[in-house]
Amino acid sequence: MRGREGARSTSKHSISLRETSSCVANGSRPQVTASMLFQRNTSSFAHEGQVICHSSGGCRPQSASCGAANYVDEMYLAWKANPKDVHVSWQTYFRNMEDPTVPSTQAFRPPPGLMSSRYTEDTPAISMAEISDGVNYLKAQSIVRAFQEYGHTNAKINPLGDVGSATIHAHPDLPSSSNLSKYGFTTADLDREVPLGPDLFPHLASSTKTMPLRDIIATCEKIYSGSFGVEYHHISSPATRDWIRQRVETYHASPPSPAEKHRILDTLIWATSLERFLATKFPNEKRFGLDGAEGLAPGLAALIDRCADVHGVRDIVIGSCHRGRMNVMSTVYGKDFETLFGQFAGTDKFDVEGGQTGDVKYHFGMEGERTTAGGGVVGVEMLPNPSHLEAVDPVAQGKAKAVQEIRGDVDQSKVMCMALHGDAAFSGQGPVYETLNLSGLKGYEVGGTVRLMVNNQIGFTTDSPYSRSTPYCSDLAKYIEAPIFHVNADDPEAVVFLCKLAADWRAEFRSDIVIDVNCYRRFGHNEIDQASFTQPEMYKKIAKQQALLEKYIEKLVGEGTMQAEVVEEQKRWVWEQLEEKLARSKLPSEEAHALKTEVATAPEPLSTSTAVDEATLSTIAEAITSVPEGFNLHRNLQRILAAKKQAFDAGTVDWSTAEALAFGSLVLEGKPVRISGQDVERGTFSQRHSILHDQTTHAEYTPLNHLQEGQPARYTAVNSPLSEFGVLGFDYGYSLAAPESLVMWEAQFGDFANNAQVVIDQFITSGEAKWLLKSGLVMSLPHGYDGQGPEHSSARLGRFLELGSEDPRAWPEDLGWARRDCNVQIVYMTTPANLFHALRRQIYSPYKKPLIIFFSKSLLRHPLARSSVQELTGTSTFQPVLSDPEHGSSILPLDKINRVILCSGQVYASLHKHREANGIKNTAITRIEELHPFPWAEVKENLDSYPNAQTIVWCQEEPYNGGAWQYMRDRLETVASESENHKFSRIVYAGRGTGAAAATGSKKVHQAEEERLLTDAFGDS
């Protein structure tokens, strides 16, 4: 009863199909009522009930031979049709059985001893024997339900027996001979025949009408407490729970075929042989091997094959933990063994001069193809990942999402995401929660991720009771209602069954599923670790543990599926194949497993100009400042859009207009634009308004998707959850697969970007150097000191600049390669025009590099932060350095300037205001709009234009230890050394002092600090 919805109960279990033909003939609906007299006679319940019909033709009473199951089912159907048509006790029972929060031992409540007065004496009665069977059916059903809920707590999922965290204490309500009284039985009832039915092993009911209680319990133990256990009662949908129940209960009825057993054995031979081969050939190398978890390999193979052969999946994107990854890349995913052996032998190459560092072999990913059991081919990509555990999770999902959208996989059936997790990491690392939270959100959902836990039952040296506060490492997944299966890795047939079930689940429900593969580490954290230092009992047990391959061979030989000689020959052949592949890996080759960079003789130009013709800009401006007729726009927004249009018509644009024009122009050129982050649809500072809301109907309107009929690409803005790590990782992964899209992540405030510092350090700024991952991701970071305190002022500019790979100590030999060779681009701009060109350059640059944009909150609407439309058209382009525009007007000519202030970002507005207010004429202000790669030639050219400037000031509003000064000092000294006029110029600092916090929380202190840095900047001017 508990696992079904009314709509699903009206098929083969409906009484209208069998026992009430007269009612069907009369066109009437049988109404079942029950008044139950609760009498205890030893351990049995006695009930009285009636069946009546609304039709005048009447309905015959159900005969005892019809069985108790049908009787109970009739009650259930009547209750589903109208709960008031059955006695309140039945109402309580059925309501409790469908409520996953009610323990099974409390589902049944005995009714009061009075018959309802609404029923007459002449209503035909159901026999006492049938009622007794019906009650036994209900009590047995409660036993089954208890196993469904708690059977996993007694499942034999630990290959080490009672050693390790996989051993969970059986739940006290789990039925056993010692607690049968909880369910209304005694040990004397163990041989009592109980009728089967729609909610009591329906798959057996067609051939077996009854079953002794003893066998019911044994069957439950076999199904729910065997070598795997299932947790699914946290799922709210009865239909979904029923789907799982039906699949699990039929497992033993459909054992694997001999052919499938052969495939399992073959995969085990390859996986086990590879580990033993590597241990022999490279005994001192870490590999984080699959030893102790070999059962995972045939499970992964079965999962991929099922997804591809049965459900039409064509591409799989994988994020993986360390354990066993190198093994399954070659034995399951399709990576060639020669490359694998080359990584162990150290024959793979890195272009150190090109800035590559490479990585340790067990961090690399791969792209390959797997030939499935059905003869098909499926693309498999496993992403590289750092030792920052679980950091790759959102990256994999982001890449899968992008591939789905690029390939038009609307129903998300062709491209799938898969994740392998470590037990300690899944329960301990924050990105797991953040990634799970994305699973059902618009703009981030991928149609379900299949998650496998490589559960070593330990985290390095830390036992599980010290790693988590929950019984299972997988418990976190319950909050998204993912079904969770716990399985003994030493039962590869069970692992394969659950992996195939997981493939079917994703195809059916498009949501996450978790398989907790309980295994062990045969050689400790890695192969040179001595784990018995801290886990002596566990490793004594492991030392005696027979390897899975030998166990499974014994099983297959014992049951006659395989012959021992054939298996030994297969093992010898595999070993010989590995020897041959190792030999081939040592042969000289032009390709030699090298990581390659672009080979070019000269820097490549932009593929398209970043300038756009004025007619196109006018079309975009018209679209982004108007709404459809009848759209009820907020009154204030009407004024804002009208002002934008008026400004554009007058020839000027502000920051947000320039951004929208850049987005719109890219979309019209067939380049999709995606922006995500907290509040990005409107913008944290109410500056963007890219999605408009009807104030009456609540309808949404996205102007950038209505630029012209049949526009070739779309603009997507996605308000993200309150997450930085997960969402930035997701968008980085998305950018890897979408080089033709502008992909932007925007922080609510730049201060919060450090919640994603791992993604920034390990992926965005170093992913190319380590793994040759090309990303054009844009990070948009609000930044600027406005007296808003230490949490709303700083995106940590200095920290990002520290991550730049450029050498400041010497003038570059070839400036033309700067953009190719840099690892990241960092800009802090003051003009909307530069924003426009920077965004468009990101798409049309021949070199894909992440772009970090620091943008000033106060300049969003500042009069100084305006650009002319002409600066977006014609031959205009990005300007990395902006010279002072006021020579000959408010300040002296260039040769009369004796002090040059260099700055970036919004401090320019304060410097400009201070200079005007104090009538300072002899000081020029130069803006460095792009900080990395450093614009060497442009800065030198600018300083050379001031031949008599003896003081060069770097001015920043950030603290001495927090802004660009530490980055700029060496570079300015290098530039000065190359200049004829500035070899002996003073280079001085003007800015805030050092500080532990990014900014003060006091407005008064903030203003005093700003006055001081402005005074220092202008000095004796």
Domain ranges of the chain: 1-239, 259-337+364-585, 614-806+815-872, 887-1018
Residue 885 token pair: 């525009």
What is the per-residue pLDDT across 213-249, written as a single tens digit (0 to 9) for each? 999 999 999 999 999 999 999 999 999 999 999 999 9
Domains 259-337+364-585 and 887-1018 share a fold: yes
CB 732 within 8 A of CB 759: yes
Cα–Cα dist 499/453, whole Å:
12
User: Interhelix angle for 238-249 vs 213-224, to 10°?
Assistant: 100
Q: Find, among 671, 651, 719, the residue nearest to 871 by Cα.
A: 651
User: Interhelix angle for 128-150 vs 213-224, to 10°?
Assistant: 20
Residue 222 token pair: 């076999």
Cα–Cα dist 734/747, whole Å:
17
Residue 986: DSSP 8-state: E
Q: Is the pLDDT of residue 135 over 60?
A: yes
* Cα separation values, 992 from 458, 824, 907, 965, Å: 48, 27, 12, 11
Cα–Cα dist 623/692, whole Å:
12
* Maximal CA-CA distance, the chain: 118
Q: Is the pLDDT of residue 480 over 70?
A: yes
The H or E element containing residue 399 is: helix 392-406
Q: Find, among 94, 519, 467, the residue nearest to 299 by Cα.
A: 519
- Predicted pLDDT at 59: 35
Residue 539 token pair: 């490793």
Cα–Cα dist 409/312, whole Å:
11
What is the per-residue pLDDT across 44-98, written as a single tens digit (0 to 9) for each? 333 333 333 333 333 333 333 334 555 566 777 778 888 877 765 567 677 776 7
Peptide bond preceding 933 in cis form (omega within 30 of 0)? yes
**How is 377-388 classified by DSSP, letter by letter?**
EEEEEE----SS
The H or E element containing residue 133 is: helix 128-150
Sequence-distant (6+) residues with CB within 8 A of 371 are 334, 377
CB 438 within 8 A of CB 726: yes
Residue 41 token pair: 């006679």
Strand partners, 531: none
Instruction: pLDDT band for 667, please (50, 70, 90 cuts).
Output: very high
Strand partners, 398: none
Instruction: Supply angle C-alpha 575, 576, 578, rounded to 5.
Output: 65
What percent of the chain lies above the pLDDT cut of 70?
86
Higher pLDDT, 651 or 538: 651
**Mode of pairing for the β-strands spanning 193-195 and 210-212:** antiparallel
Instruction: pLDDT band for 100, please (50, 70, 90 cuts).
Output: low
Q: How high is the mean pLDDT of the chain?
A: 87
Mapped onto helix, strand or coil, the DSSP state of residue 5 is coil
The type of residue at 389 is: L
Sequence-distant (6+) residues with CB within 8 A of 206 are none
Q: Find, among 855, 954, 853, 943, the residue nearest to 902 by Cα.
A: 954
Sequence-distant (6+) residues with CB within 8 A of 923 are 891, 897, 898, 899, 900, 901, 915, 1018, 1021
- Predicted pLDDT at 976: 95
Mapped onto helix, strand or coil, the DSSP state of residue 484 is strand
In the chain, what are the helix, strand and coil shares in percent, each to the nearest 5? 40, 15, 45
Edge-first strand order for the sheet with 986-992 is 881-882, 923-928, 899-903, 951-959, 986-992
Tell me phi and psi for residue 798, to 5 degrees. -60, -35
- Predicted pLDDT at 327: 97
Instruction: Supply angle C-alpha 119, 122, 124, rounded to 5.
Output: 90
Q: Find, among 489, 528, 524, the residue nearest to 294 by Cα.
A: 489
Instruction: pLDDT band for 463, please (50, 70, 90 cuts).
Output: confident
What is the per-residue pLDDT across 346-387, written as a single tens digit (0 to 9) for each? 877 666 656 788 899 999 999 999 999 999 999 999 999 999
**Mode of pairing for the β-strands spanning 458-459 and 923-928:** unpaired
**How is 708-754 classified by DSSP, letter by letter?**
STT-SS-EEEEEPPS-SHHHHHHHHHHHHH-TTSEEEEE-SSGGGGG
- Predicted pLDDT at 122: 44
| Rg of the chain over all Cα atoms, to the nearest angstrom | 35
- Tokens 């933990």 found at: 321
Q: Is the pLDDT of residue 707 over 90?
A: yes
Higher pLDDT, 922 or 21: 922
Neighbours of 721 (CB within 10 A): 12
Tell me phi and psi for residue 231, to 5 degrees. -115, 115
**How is 677-714 classified by DSSP, letter by letter?**
ETTTTT-TTS----SEE-TTT--EE-GGG-SSTT-SS-
Dihedral of CA 705/708/709/714: which sign?
A: negative
Higher pLDDT, 816 or 121: 816
Q: Find, among 233, 295, 291, 293, the residue nearest to 267 by Cα.
A: 295
Residue 922 token pair: 């002899």
Print the SS3 string covering 315-358: EEEEECCCCCHHHHHHHHHCCCHHHHHHHHHCCCCCCCCCCCCC
- Tokens 């709009």 found at: 929
Instruction: pLDDT band for 889, please (50, 70, 90 cuts).
Output: confident
- Predicted pLDDT at 806: 93
The H or E element containing residue 900 is: strand 899-903
How deeply is 366 buried, as exposed, middle or buried, from its count of CB atoms within 10 A (0-12, 13-18, 19+)? buried
Q: Is the pLDDT of residue 21 over 90?
A: no
**How is 749-766 classified by DSSP, letter by letter?**
SGGGGGGGHHHIIIIITT
Average pLDDT over residues 974-992: 93
Q: Is the pLDDT of residue 19 over 60?
A: no
Q: Based on DSSP, count helices (H) and strands (E) in the chain, helices before strands.
A: 31, 32
Q: Find, among 697, 696, 698, 677, the residue nearest to 688 by Cα.
A: 677
Cα–Cα dist 267/167, whole Å:
28
Residue 522 token pair: 């045969």
Architecture field, domain 259-337+364-585: 3-Layer(aba) Sandwich (3.40)
The type of residue at 33 is: T
Q: Find, among 795, 257, 342, the residue nearest to 588 by Cα.
A: 342
Tell me phi and psi for residue 937, to 5 degrees. -65, -40
- Predicted pLDDT at 81: 83
* Cα separation values, 978 from 637, 972, 982, Å: 52, 10, 8
Q: Is the pLDDT of residue 911 over 60?
A: yes
Residue 966 token pair: 């530490």
User: Interhelix angle for 635-649 vs 614-624, to 10°?
Assistant: 170
CB 714 within 8 A of CB 645: no
- Predicted pLDDT at 23: 35
Instruction: pLDDT band for 818, please (50, 70, 90 cuts).
Output: confident
Q: Find, among 213, 176, 217, the residue nearest to 194 by Cα.
A: 213
Q: Find, among 655, 656, 732, the residue nearest to 690 by Cα.
A: 656
What is the per-residue pLDDT across 740-793, written as a single tens digit (0 to 9) for each? 999 999 999 999 999 999 999 999 999 999 999 999 999 999 999 999 999 999
**How is 922-959 classified by DSSP, letter by letter?**
SEEEEEE-EEES--HHHHHHHHHT-TT--EEEEEEEEE
- Predicted pLDDT at 1004: 96
| CATH assignment of 614-806+815-872, among 3.40.930.10, 3.40.50.12470, 3.40.50.1820, 3.10.520.10 | 3.40.50.12470
- Tokens 């799938």 found at: 416
| CA 116 to centroid of chain Cα atoms | 56
The CATH topology of domain 887-1018 is Rossmann fold (3.40.50)
- Tokens 């040179």 found at: 528
What is the per-residue pLDDT across 560-612, written as a single tens digit (0 to 9) for each? 999 999 999 999 999 999 999 999 988 865 444 444 444 455 667 777 899 99
Average pLDDT over residues 801-826: 92
